[in-house]
Amino acid sequence: MQTFHDAWSQLSEWFDSVEHLGLYLYLAWVTYLIVLGVWIVLQKREPVATLSWILALAVLPYFGFAIYHLFGPQRIVRQRLRRMRSRVAESDDDREIGNSGAQAETSELMRVATQTTGLGPSRARTVELLIDGHAKYTRLLADIAQARQHVHVEYYIFTPDRTGAALRDALIACAKRGVRVRLLLDAIGSAKAPQRFFADLEAAGGELVWFHPTRFLRFWYRPWMNLRTHRKIVVIDHRIGYTGGINITDEEDETLRADAYRDLHVRIEGDAVRALQQVFVEDWVYASGRRDVMSDLARTRAVDRDTTAAALDGAEGEEGIATHVLTSGPDSPWETIHRLHVGAIHAATRRVWLVTPYFVPGEAAMMALTSAALGGVDVRLLVPKRSDSLPVTLAARSYYDDLLAAGVKVYEYGPRMLHTKALLIDDDTALIGSANFDHRSFRLNFEVTMLFADAGVAERLARLIEGEFANAPRVRDDRQRPLLSSRLPEALARLLSPLL
């Protein structure tokens, strides 16, 4: 303690001996603020967000910069170019991906999706809605057991529990019989799964890559803590694809846990699988730096030309189900999934039914929902009574008053945590995928959503959502909202909306 006191005394004496120290510190602070302020302004973010960051840097010098360095907005420029190059290479190898089914759907939404993602509209031969984890896991394991060429898997959360072990063991069995297995996991979302958990998979010949691993020790790089792959993708033999909201965890299996999430996934067959495959390939090339996956896929397509390709071509000649794979992430400025949600809501004439576990809308989304309701469209919002994040729950409730005033019907699902991410528009358009209705999914996460322009899929989704209303009491505009326990916490949580 005496040593510390002496050191502090010497430091104080040194400060006192420096002439005009206060002026030097002030000039350093001004210079720091100007340089970083110009840097932030040139990123051309929303004015409110830009001003908030500049204010934080001014009030918390140096410490504020550390926060910005860790959590501030980032644009992936060099990485975006790498991803675009992988897309061009894959398109050259299989050009029909971008054009197949192009004449099947020429709506404005499809054109916007094509322009912003580089993926063209396609068709699916079959689309299955898989409700809850047990149905999804049972179907998935059965399909993996029949794989002959490759199994490509990408998940945000993969936990080393009973569910995770079952999928890992199924992948090990595939690898041992010569099937090419590639597993891409988010380094933050799947942090509970240690590398050794997959040792037998890698020993059997399977490949494991981590998406955006932490790099705190490399201070010259900005960390990617906020930029995660939230996608859930499985592609088997070019023929079968899975995507939606269900991760690999016991928390999603209702047969293992009474409080398992209520969730939705889709299983597709047909031409649309190739677009989903392309999304995985881009993520794999970007995360691993290895491009051999594309030549490997080209060889398997050539070997299996008489079966797989013929089946796909036959499906294209049939009516099929019009689909479009939507992607978004910090490597694109277009916010495609956000843009398509808002555009679809504006285009609605009869109904807009939105299901999401995290409802933290931006100004454009709120304007679309309230405008549709004010225009006489049946607008309904289904959210969990309490999500797994209290700040998100409170922030979502802060929007209720404006929604209810406009005529939006709000329902809170109660039995379990609702994790479904779906949007139903009128009687012929459905969007199902991994993206929540919040800032993080629309701007920070790498997400994937399937757009189905099909009355049959829309009808099945409508029946599912109608069934959920039975367990979701409607929020009343005359509900009790005490200041300290309700209104104030909700208002404070809303201030954090851009960070949630």
389: in domain = yes
181: in domain = yes
DSSP of 26-60: HHHHHHHHHHHHHHHHTT---HHHHHHHHHHHHHS
Check whether residue 413 and residue 465 sit in a common domain: yes
Looking at residue 158, its pLDDT comes to 98
Looking at residue 302, its pLDDT comes to 60
What whole-number distance in Å separates Cα of residue 106 and Cα of residue 461? 23
Mean pLDDT for 292-302 is 76
Domain boundary at 321, 356, 382, which?
321
Looking at residue 99, its pLDDT comes to 45
Check whether residue 304 and residue 347 sit in a common domain: no
What whole-number distance in Å separates Cα of residue 137 and Cα of residue 260? 14
What whole-number distance in Å separates Cα of residue 259 and Cα of residue 243? 22
Give the CA dihedral 235, 239, 243, 246, nearest 10 degrees: -70
Q: Looking at 256-366, which runs of residues are DSSP E strands?
A: 264-269, 321-328, 351-355, 359-360
Burial class for 316, CB neighbours closer than 10 Å (0-12, 13-18, 19+): middle
Task: Say if CB 231 and CB 283 are below 8 A apart.
Answer: yes
Q: Name the pLDDT band for 405 (thresholds 50, 70, 90).
A: very high
330: in domain = no
373 three-state secondary structure: helix
Check whether residue 94 and residue 58 sit in a common domain: no
Catalytic residue among 152, 230, 265, 324: 230
Task: Examine the residue annotation and report whether 150 is marked as an active-site residue of this protein.
Answer: no
Rounded to 10°, the helix 78-93/272-288 angle is: 140
Winning range, highest mean pLDDT, from 229-233, 304-308, 314-318 = 229-233
Task: Examine the residue annotation and report whether 477 is marked as an active-site residue of this protein.
Answer: no
What whole-number distance in Å separates Cα of residue 102 and Cα of residue 96? 10
Task: Examine the residue annotation and report whether 230 is marked as an active-site residue of this protein.
Answer: yes
Check whether residue 274 and residue 387 sit in a common domain: no
The CA–CA distances, whole Å, from 174 to 71, 144, 147, 302, 303 equal 39, 7, 7, 21, 19
Mean pLDDT for 190-195 is 94
Average pLDDT, the chain: 85
Task: Examine the residue annotation and report whether 232 is marked as an active-site residue of this protein.
Answer: yes
Domain boundary at 258, 289, 321, which?
321
What whole-number distance in Å separates Cα of residue 55 and Cα of residue 145? 56
Return the DSSP state at 252: G
What whole-number distance in Å separates Cα of residue 71 and Cα of residue 65? 10
Check whether residue 457 and residue 474 sit in a common domain: yes
What whole-number distance in Å separates Cα of residue 143 and Cα of residue 139? 6
**Residue 446 structural domain:** 336-499
Check whether residue 124 and residue 186 sit in a common domain: yes
pTM of the model: 0.84
Domain boundary at 273, 298, 321, which?
321
445: in domain = yes
Query: ∠56-483-401 over CA atoms, to 5°?
Result: 85
Mean pLDDT for 110-114 is 92
Share of the chain above pLDDT 90, in %: 60
Check whether residue 346 and residue 290 sit in a common domain: no
What whole-number distance in Å separates Cα of residue 22 and Cα of residue 388? 48
Check whether residue 268 and residue 406 sit in a common domain: no
Q: Dig out the tokens for 461 from the structure.
A: 């989704």
User: What contacts 255, CB < 8 A, 6 or more positions away?
Assistant: 134
**Strand arrangement, sheet containing 264-269:** 126-131, 264-269, 240-244, 233-236, 150-155, 180-186, 207-211
Q: Name the pLDDT band for 125 (thresholds 50, 70, 90).
A: very high
Check whether residue 351 and residue 394 sit in a common domain: yes
Task: Examine the residue annotation and report whether 237 is marked as an active-site residue of this protein.
Answer: yes
Catalytic residue among 136, 341, 419, 439: 419
Task: Examine the residue annotation and report whether 426 is marked as an active-site residue of this protein.
Answer: yes
Catalytic residue among 421, 438, 439, 454: 421
Looking at residue 72, its pLDDT comes to 59
- Which CATH number characterizes residue 167's domain? 3.30.870.10
Return the DSSP state at 121: P
> What is the count of structural domains for the chain?
3
Looking at residue 70, its pLDDT comes to 61
Mean pLDDT for 252-270 is 97
Check whether residue 176 and residue 251 sit in a common domain: yes
Task: Say if CB 118 and CB 98 are below 8 A apart.
Answer: yes
* Structure-model confidence comparison of residues 157 and 218, the more confident one: 157
Give the CA dihedral 383, 496, 189, 421, nearest 10 degrees: 20
Q: Dig out the tokens for 360 from the structure.
A: 């933290």
Between 16-30, 146-160, 283-297, the lowest mean confidence (pLDDT) is in 16-30
Catalytic residue among 150, 232, 238, 338: 232
Check whether residue 42 and residue 151 sit in a common domain: no
Looking at residue 31, its pLDDT comes to 81
* Structure-model confidence comparison of residues 39 and 137, the more confident one: 137
User: What contacts 137, CB < 8 A, 6 or more positions away?
Assistant: 163, 166, 167, 253
Burial class for 185, CB neighbours closer than 10 Å (0-12, 13-18, 19+): buried
Q: Name the pLDDT band for 23 (thresholds 50, 70, 90).
A: confident
What whole-number distance in Å separates Cα of residue 314 and Cα of residue 120? 19
Q: pLDDT tens-digit profile of 315-368?
A: 444 569 999 999 999 888 899 999 999 999 999 999 999 999 999 999 999 999
Residue listed under structure tokens 């995928």: 433
Check whether residue 149 and residue 278 sit in a common domain: yes
Adjacent-strand bridge partners of 186: 211
The CA–CA distances, whole Å, from 21 to 11, 30, 59, 420, 429 equal 13, 14, 20, 58, 66
441: in domain = yes
